[in-house]
Amino acid sequence: MGLSEVFARIDGYRHEVIELQQGLVAIPALSPDYGEPPEHTGEARKVRFLKEYLGRHGISDLEEVLAPDERVPGGVRPNLIARIPGRDRSRTVWVMAHTDVVPPGAMDKWRSDPWQLRVEGDLIFGRGVEDNHQGLVAGVMAARALAETGTQPECDLALLFVADEECGSKFGIRYVLEQRNPFRPDDLIFVPDGGAADGSEIEVAEKSIMWIKFRTTGVQAHASTPEKGKNAHRAGAHLIVALDRLHKKFDVSDPVFVPPISTFEPTKKEANVPNVNTIPGDDVFYLDCRILPTFPLDEVEATVRKICRRIEKRFGVKVDFSFEQREQAAPPTSVDAPIVRKVAAAVQEVYRAEPRAIGIGGGTVAAYLRRIGLPCVVWSRMDETMHGPNENARISNILGDAKVVAHVALSH
């Protein structure tokens, strides 16, 4: 069998895509870091579901890499490798997706239950359908089509489904690389976890990431006598505004990246006092920083420290900060790397799009591979509804992405 037969088989997988997405969406694979749900069995349940599904469809070369985590039942977070042997066993085409998802957020913003798949024509809705089930399902459908048509790829095709991507990858790709690095220098690796609506963007570079936790500590008091306290909440609010100066300090623009500038956004806010009539003595918020590789993170940190000292002096509070995540940008993948050329050729063939190499602000698991000298790309054709209410994906995109995977696996 050849590429045309594999493509024809994938074209017939609409029902199979819906069926697999339905099973995946029903498993809330949430990290213990979110504090919900209490059992935290989602990743393990999802891997068991995938192993059974893959085995049923002729993909039996399966390996688990179990990362110890005492916070979850069973004490491990599973990572799964599924492999189809190719003619050349010395190289592998890798498709790496993640099994975990983010919480649904405000339930009243959803038009349907986020843990039950809803189908509207070409669109499917539910938490995780795009991030990252789209890439996961596309890889599975490509592998299934190869298995069912008896088509052997040019080299091995491996699907790697990792845990913990949404919360730092300590139990996911980072653990896999430390304990069982399965990658070889000539392997072709792509991560279907971001892209443009027309499929034209092939991500080869990422910004540095800093997630900063700020704590302002003052003196709690009754709200009717604010002079007896030091309002940590007010100081924190002024600190948020002051940190906006980072945009002016680090104002270089690089058109390769989308967006082309460094971003510094206040995000999560922790609760302080439970009642209205108390001056908070303690306040916590977070800043999400996506920084162009031009700037060393030490320089950004030094500027943040100066801003904090000014707030301390002005409001008589103490300001501490720590890092939830701090990753200097990895070296970019060369635009001439084989994986870039092969994905570009596949995108042109499947989607008739003119691909271009870009950099992004979002952090992906590709960064961990690039840091150890493994070229890889992030690519998918998607509308990028991830993390929002009513997250959705297009069935036609999943089928098209599966063809891209097959094209890369079968190309010389």
User: Mind telling me the catalytic residues?
Assistant: 100, 165
Q: Which of 86, 80, 58 shows the shortest CA–CA distance to 156?
A: 86
Burial 339-369 (b: 16+ CB within 10 A, else e): bbebbbebbeebbebebebbbbbebbbbbbb
Rounded-to-integer distance, Cα 151 and Cα 403, Å: 14
Q: Where are the beta strands (DSSP E) in 107-180?
A: 118-120, 123-125, 155-162
How would you classify the pairing of strands 118-120 and 318-327? unpaired
Rounded-to-integer distance, Cα 373 and Cα 244, Å: 35
* Cβ atoms < 10 Å from Cβ of 281: 19
CB 162 within 8 A of CB 172: yes
Non-local (6+) Cβ contacts of 227 within 8 A are none
Rounded-to-integer distance, Cα 173 and Cα 166, Å: 11
CB 287 within 8 A of CB 216: no
